């Protein structure tokens, strides 16, 4: 294995901090990596789902006899067979694998069929007969926020479709506004967007005669799937085995336990045969769980000197048919406004409303994206009113390191000021802002995001969020087990690199085992940007335990006290006499003398953080990432077409442990953010999704990506592994406001409705011209 | 989504293909590159049980300056230096069709005979059934303009406008023999989105013929869409013009991606012969074209915007092509 190149400005480590190619890269680029759909089992059946053509209907009766009688059909399942409700959050179990009693959106699952092949299964679906009573359809969350005739679930507040309401108030917001020198008020509307991961949703389930059930699935949280299968199918967890093969992207869309996964497992239990269920792209659009369509109003008060006095925020989230992560989302849309600035007074009212549409859920930069947009756009306006440079306004209000926010978030490391400084200088901001010709502009947007959620969903505080097991036998290979879920973001590579770094071993000694609940210790998976921080700390601890044993063995061989030794590359050496050393293998074999293979376990648990009020734990994290992005755009004022020319992305992820992966995450996050800003939309007409296909759901193409200059300026976090925080989600949020503020600099219009498609922007520019006030062309 | 089974026929001559079609009239389709037809089949749109592949008919191939065989792959047309040099507008248009992968299979004939498109039509059977089928496939109403008993699906090929402004002709084979008609006459705006061309259903497009005079014309093709690397046109504007000195000798403008058929505006452009293409004339022409087109809301971008952009695109194309002496931007 070649050592990574080039050794860059990276600090004290041999591997970490460098650019480390993905360990599974060669398998992926040659097509040899194994995804769930690549798996085949003997006697395997095909599972298919019948989906509701009605947005809201009472299911009066279902007749599956004709379908069951068809040759090649092995079984047909309806909702009553496994009616136990579930949901990713224990407090909101409102989903069922297959609809029971009611259909709640176009695409809701009504029945599942297992048959010998796809064609037979699809034909069987058409032979299932329903009697239904159509119910009033609720597509507009503003309507659903009031009392309704037929609530979608058990009635919420005052007989409405409200699923969750959050009200928080810290300090005295009204008093702060009363004494403000400057205020801004911004109302923005955000269309829903979806993850659109490349690998489709797919599950293969195999119930075996020994009473066990094995489920292979494209999931980013194998552990929640494991729990949910157990709850709904009434099988003890130890008789269920969950395996996660390679996963081709998730972005949050594979973090809920999903109904098709349970339905597929149920079909296998019923038939006693392996069943594979591969959803097509349209079904994936209906499964959704993407970013909530949102309307928010942000008011900000500022004093004469540019110090922020208060935020007053309202948000209305459209939840779709299920709760999913929605309670968390509702909190996040308020509390994730608490950084990167010091905000002394804060009020928030957020509501999430069920609708008869595909469920909303968690999507990359969950809960932090839309609120961040409105705040950063409002700050741009405030800076203009106060005749302050947008950078100066932000640096004046930066949260300092080792501080506490008004809602008691604990801020440890922050390199936000360094981000501002780097972005300002690299982009040559001071020569461009309000100076570029009409149609071209620069804008600043900043970011703040959690690095892991301090309070795991299911766990008591004593139970670790992450555990890593290591095993080294005499061959010198190091096997790593963990239920962390690599979904393409590079966590396997990081896991291997941390272990290799601590042990001084070559990277090719380390093999990260595929996630398999029979052997992998629990880690709660890939979401909330937690993996590097938590798994990284767990891996480090496990490797340090092994290292101590190797050092002791070497000490015996070298007849030196362990304290005089250190780990070198593939060897253990005397610290002040490095030519005196034993090889890694010699030390290993010595250490194994009486014990056999070396094994170790490392884990990571969070300590309690946050205040003692209701909802205090939402948004608490062991660390936070910070960002300052400058975008430069060209706007064709006559067509409304936006070209993003360049993004300078200054990011504080603490120490970047794999620079290659961090840069990839930042570039990918910018691409995703640009899509939400400029073109992506879950385009509904009432309850009907008009574009459940990748041709009509407009993800920007690679040739529309701007040049991205990544500026990694983070200083070490005191608690993160080797100083690291997160780079998975935080890099998204600054993108949208940076570009929107650049559009303002270019043509003088504020974008309040996303996506900013060319027709919308053209209309705004025309309206501005019709009002007769000119923008930069007159200066 | 699966493809329902069908029977594949592989004739070696045009006559054989026509004969097979006759045997299965009403239940057969011609298959060229399949990049339009097969996705539509997967969505169960107007399925036929017999597919007659045109790929094995030598006569339909061949690419030369004056003649493009209908089975010419779009990628080959794009890569053909002499053709691109002589017909810059065609070269621009073909490079804008879909993706490199689609262009590697998609053909000139298939592009001209493309199925029309609509938000309510290019959907799975599940989707369409849940709303109720529409006129164009299995249903009785139009969801876009419910008052009318007509289909407004949008013609979305990029090549037709670019070829139409060159006065290209198509050679067509039918049961009654061969004919050659102006390419623009393949389409008829008085028809609708269901009957997307004027030929009998059994007709085979053999080749496109380009008049040599095209060599001296300046040409361009401008396309409106969100993603240059994928998307169907929401508007396509083709212009070909020949100047004598600083005045117009011949001018043709055509648009696609707006209505059920591509359209040329000879009645507006012919009177400009002999005139200078001044900024004012360009604006008038662009305005007149804008006023005459009638897009509906069945694609991604709203129709009022696509209409306004028609004027902008026409104006910009003409300004760019006009000799510096006559038009100022
Ligand atoms: C993702 C995607 C994006 C696309 N984007 C664009 C775009 O931007 N612009 C654009 O113009 N097109 C686009 N297309 C549409 C289309 O695939 C191409 O235009 C292509 O040229 C069609 O040619 P084909 O040979 O594949 O046609 P086929 O699918 O084989 O045939 C299309 C139709 O024409 C008929 N036909 C084909 N050849 C003949 C013939 N010689 N005589 C009589 N009838 C014939 C067929 O029976 C069928 O009805 C896109 C397609 C996809 C899948
Ligand atoms: S325009 Fe009307 S009839 Fe034609 S495809 Fe669309 S909905 Fe159907």
Average pLDDT over residues A697-726: 97
Q: Do A698 and B309 make contact, defined as CB atoms within 8 angstroms?
A: no
- The answer to whether the beta carbons of residues A513 and A520 sit under 8 Å apart is yes
Phi, psi (deg, nearest 5) at residue A599: -130, 155
A753 near B CB under 8 A: no
Of A53, A698, A700, the CB nearest to B126: A53
Local structure of B286: helix, strand or coil:
helix
CA-based nearest distance A423→chain B, Å: 29
Distance B38 CA to ligand 1 centre (A): 9
* Dist. CA A638–CA A344, nearest whole Å: 43
Joined tokens for residue B161:
């406008």
Adjacent-strand bridge partners of A275? A45, A205
Beta strands in A239-343 (DSSP E): 240-244, 275-278, 294-302, 308-320
pLDDT of residue A462: 67
Is residue A245's pLDDT more than 60?
A: yes
Distance B144 CA to ligand 2 centre (A): 6
The CATH class for the domain spanning B225-327 reads alpha beta
Is residue A779's pLDDT more than 50?
A: no
pLDDT of residue A452: 93
pLDDT of residue A459: 66
The CATH class for the domain spanning A25-33+456-604 reads alpha beta
* Dist. CA A676–CA A755, nearest whole Å: 6
Is residue A10's pLDDT more than 60?
A: no
Do domains A25-33+456-604 and A36-135+195-287 share one topology? The answer is no
Residue A190: CA atoms inside 13 Å, Cβ hemisphere, count? 32
Q: Do A282 and B227 make contact, defined as CB atoms within 8 angstroms?
A: no
Average pLDDT over residues A736-756: 98
Residues of A in contact with B123 (CB under 8 A): 692-693
pLDDT of residue B325: 60
pLDDT of residue A458: 74
| CATH placement of domain B59-212 | 3.30.465.10
Q: Do B305 and A759 make contact, defined as CB atoms within 8 angstroms?
A: yes
- Per domain, the residue ranges of chain B are 1-58, 59-212, 225-327
- Interface size A-B, in CB pairs within 8 Å, comes to 63
Joined tokens for residue A147:
């009392």
Sign of CA dihedral A616, A618, A619, A621: positive
Average pLDDT over residues A147-155: 93
pLDDT band at A461 (very low <50, low <70, confident <90, very high): low
Mean pLDDT (chain A, rounded): 96
CA-based nearest distance A427→chain B, Å: 27
pLDDT of residue A667: 98
CATH topology for the A36-135+195-287 domain: Aldehyde Oxidoreductase; domain 3 (3.90.1170)
- Chain A residue with the nearest C-alpha to that of B304: A759
pLDDT of residue A157: 77
pLDDT of chain B, 329 residues: tens digit per residue = 788 899 999 999 999 999 999 999 999 999 999 999 999 999 999 999 999 999 999 999 999 889 999 999 999 999 988 888 889 999 999 999 999 999 999 999 999 999 999 999 999 999 999 999 999 998 999 999 998 889 999 999 999 999 999 999 999 999 999 999 999 999 998 879 998 899 999 999 999 999 886 557 899 999 999 999 999 999 999 999 999 988 999 999 999 999 999 999 999 999 999 999 999 999 999 999 999 999 999 999 999 999 999 999 999 999 999 987 664 44
- What is B1-58's CATH number, 3.30.43.10, 3.40.50.720, 2.150.10.10, 3.40.50.10490? 3.30.43.10
* Dist. CA A442–CA A741, nearest whole Å: 7
A716 near B CB under 8 A: no
Distance B232 CA to ligand 1 centre (A): 11
Distance A193 CA to ligand 2 centre (A): 26
Interval A723-735: pLDDT, tens: 999 999 999 999 9
Beta strands in B43-85 (DSSP E): 50-53, 67-69
Is residue A96's pLDDT more than 80?
A: yes
Closest CA to A738 of A376, A294, A366, A389: A376
Phi, psi (deg, nearest 5) at residue A665: -65, -40
The per-residue DSSP string of A581-630 comes to: EEEHHHHHHHHTTTTSSEEEEEEE-PPP-S-SSTTTTTT--S-EEEEEEE
Is residue A8's pLDDT more than 60?
A: no
Those residues of chain B whose CB sits closer than 8 Å to some CB in chain A are 1-2, 119, 122-124, 126-127, 129-131, 224, 226-232, 300-302, 305, 308-309, 312
ipTM: 0.96
| CATH placement of domain A294-454+612-778 | 3.30.365.10
Count of beta carbons in the 10 Å neighbourhood of residue A4: 21
Q: Do A758 and B302 make contact, defined as CB atoms within 8 angstroms?
A: no
- Per domain, the residue ranges of chain A are 25-33+456-604, 36-135+195-287, 294-454+612-778
């Amino acid at each position: 294995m070649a050592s990574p190149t080039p050794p860059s400005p990276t600090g004290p480590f041999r591997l970490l901090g460098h650019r480390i190619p993905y360990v599974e890269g060669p398998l992926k680029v040659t097509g040899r990596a194994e995804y769930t759909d690549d798996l085949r089992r003997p006697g395997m059946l095909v599972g298919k789902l019948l989906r509701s053509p009605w947005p809201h209907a009472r299911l009066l009766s279902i007749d599956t006899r004709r379908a069951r009688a068809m040759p090649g059909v092995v079984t047909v399942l309806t909702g009553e067979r496994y009616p136990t409700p579930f949901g990713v959050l224990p407090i909101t179990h409102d989903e069922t694998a297959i609809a029971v009693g009611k259909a709640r959106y176009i695409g809701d699952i009504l029945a599942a069929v297992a048959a010998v092949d796809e064609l037979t299964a699809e034909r069987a679906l058409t032979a299932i007969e329903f009697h239904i009573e159509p119910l009033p359809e609720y597509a507009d969350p503003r309507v659903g926020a009031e009392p309704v005739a037929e609530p979608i679930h058990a009635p919420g507040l005052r007989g409405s479709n409200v699923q969750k309401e959050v009200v928080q108030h810290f300090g005295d917001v009204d008093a702060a506004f009363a004494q403000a020198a400057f205020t801004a008020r911004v109302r923005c509307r955000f269309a829903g967007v979806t993850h659109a991961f490349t690998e489709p949703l797919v599950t293969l389930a195999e119930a075996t005669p020994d009473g066990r059930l094995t489920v292979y699935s494209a999931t980013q949280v194998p552990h929640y799937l494991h729990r949910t299968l157990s709850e709904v199918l009434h099988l003890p967890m130890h008789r269920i085995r969950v395996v996660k093969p390679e996963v081709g992207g998730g972005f949050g869309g594979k973090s809920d336990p999903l109904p098709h996964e349970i339905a597929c497992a149920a079909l296998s239990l019923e038939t006693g045969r392996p069943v594979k269920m591969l959803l097509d792209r349209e079904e994936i659009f209906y499964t959704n769980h993407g970013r909530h369509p949102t309307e928010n109003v942000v008011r900000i008060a500022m004093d004469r000197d540019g110090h922020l006095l208060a935020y007053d925020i309202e948000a209305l989230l459209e939840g779709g048919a299920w709760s999913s992560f929605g309670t968390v989302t509702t909190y996040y849309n308020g509390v994730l406004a608490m950084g990167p600035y010091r905000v002394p007074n804060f009020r928030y009212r957020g509501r999430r409303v069920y609708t008869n549409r595909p469920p909303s859920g968690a999507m990359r930069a969950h809960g932090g994206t839309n609120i961040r947009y409105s705040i950063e756009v409002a700050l741009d306006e405030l800076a203009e009113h106060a005749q302050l440079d947008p950078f100066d306004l932000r640096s004046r209000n930066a949260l300092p390191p080792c501080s506490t926010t008004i809602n008691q978030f604990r801020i440890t490391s922050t390199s936000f000021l360094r981000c501002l400084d780097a972005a300002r200088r690299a982009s040559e901001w001071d020569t461009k802002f309000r100076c570029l010709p009409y149609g071209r502009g620069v804008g600043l947007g900043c970011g703040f995001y959690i690095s892991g959620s301090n309070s795991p969903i299911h766990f008591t505080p004593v139970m670790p969020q992450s555990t890593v097991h290591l095993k080294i036998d005499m061959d010198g290979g190091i096997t790593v087990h963990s239920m962390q879920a690599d979904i393409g973001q590079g966590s396997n590579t990081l896991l291997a690199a941390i272990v290799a770094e601590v042990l001084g071993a070559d990277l090719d000694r380390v093999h990260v085992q595929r996630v398999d609940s029979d052997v992998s210790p629990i880690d709660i998976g890939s979401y909330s940007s937690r993996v590097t921080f938590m798994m990284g700390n767990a891996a480090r601890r496990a490797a340090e335990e092994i290292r101590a044993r190797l050092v002791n063995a070497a000490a015996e061989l070298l007849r030196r006290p362990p304290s005089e030794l250190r780990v070198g590359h593939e060897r253990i050496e005397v610290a002040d006499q490095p030519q005196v050393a034993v090889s890694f293998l010699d030390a290993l074999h010595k250490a194994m003398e009486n014990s056999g293979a070396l094994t170790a376990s490392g884990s990571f648990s969070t300590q309690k953080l946050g205040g003692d009020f209701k909802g205090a734990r939402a948004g608490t994290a062991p660390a936070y990432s910070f960002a300052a992005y400058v975008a430069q755009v060209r706007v064709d004022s006559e067509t409304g077409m936006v070209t993003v020319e360049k993004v300078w992305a200054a990011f504080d992820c603490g120490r970047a442990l794999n620079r290659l992966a961090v840069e990839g995450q930042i570039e990918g996050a910018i691409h995703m953010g640009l899509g939400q800003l400029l073109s992506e939309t879950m385009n509904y007409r009432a309850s009907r999704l008009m574009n459940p296909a990748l041709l009509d759901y407009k993800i920007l193409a690679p040739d529309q990506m701007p040049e991205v200059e990544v500026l990694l300026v983070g200083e070490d976090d005191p608690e993160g592994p080797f100083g690291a925080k997160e780079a998975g989600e935080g890099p998204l949020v600054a993108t949208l406001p940076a570009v929107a503020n650049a559009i303002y600099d270019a043509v003088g219009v504020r974008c309040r409705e996303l996506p900013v498609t060319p027709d919308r922007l053209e209309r705004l520019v025309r309206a501005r011209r019709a009002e007769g006030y000119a923008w930069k062309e007159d200066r | 989504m699966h493809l329902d089974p069908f029977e594949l026929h592989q004739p070696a001559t045009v006559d054989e293909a026509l004969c097979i079609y006759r045997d299965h009239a009403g239940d057969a389709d011609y298959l060229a590159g399949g990049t339009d037809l097969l996705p539509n089949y997967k969505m169960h749109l107007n399925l036929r049980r017999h597919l007659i592949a045109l790929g094995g008919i030598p006569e339909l191939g061949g690419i030369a300056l004056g003649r493009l065989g209908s089975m010419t792959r779009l990628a080959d047309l794009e890569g053909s230096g002499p053709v691109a040099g002589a017909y810059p507008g065609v070269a621009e248009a073909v490079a804008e069709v879909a993706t490199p992968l689609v262009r590697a299979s998609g053909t000139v004939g298939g592009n001209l005979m493309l199925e029309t498109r609509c938000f309510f039509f290019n959907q799975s059977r599940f989707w369409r059934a849940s709303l109720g089928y529409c006129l164009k496939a299995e249903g009785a109403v139009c969801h876009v303009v419910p008052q009318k008993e007509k289909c407004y699906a949008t013609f979305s090929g990029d090549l037709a406008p670019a070829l139409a402004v060159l006065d290209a002709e198509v050679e067509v084979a039918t049961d009654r023999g061969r004919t050659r008609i102006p390419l623009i006459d393949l389409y008829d705006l008085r028809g609708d989105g269901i009957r997307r061309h004027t030929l009998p259903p059994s007709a085979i497009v053999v080749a496109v013929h380009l008049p040599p005079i095209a060599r001296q014309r300046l040409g361009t093709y401008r396309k409106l869409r969100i993603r240059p690397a994928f998307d169907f046109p929401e508007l396509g504007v083709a212009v070909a013009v020949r100047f004598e000195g600083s005045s117009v000798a011949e001018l043709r403008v055509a648009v696609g991606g707006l209505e059920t058929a591509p359209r040329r505006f000879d009645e507006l452009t012919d009177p400009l012969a002999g005139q200078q293409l001044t900024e004012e004339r360009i604006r008038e022409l662009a305005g007149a074209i804008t006023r005459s087109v009638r897009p509906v809301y069945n694609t991604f971008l709203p129709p009022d915007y696509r209409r306004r952009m028609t004027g902008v695109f026409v104006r910009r194309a003409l300004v760019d092509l006009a000799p510096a002496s006559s038009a100022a931007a």
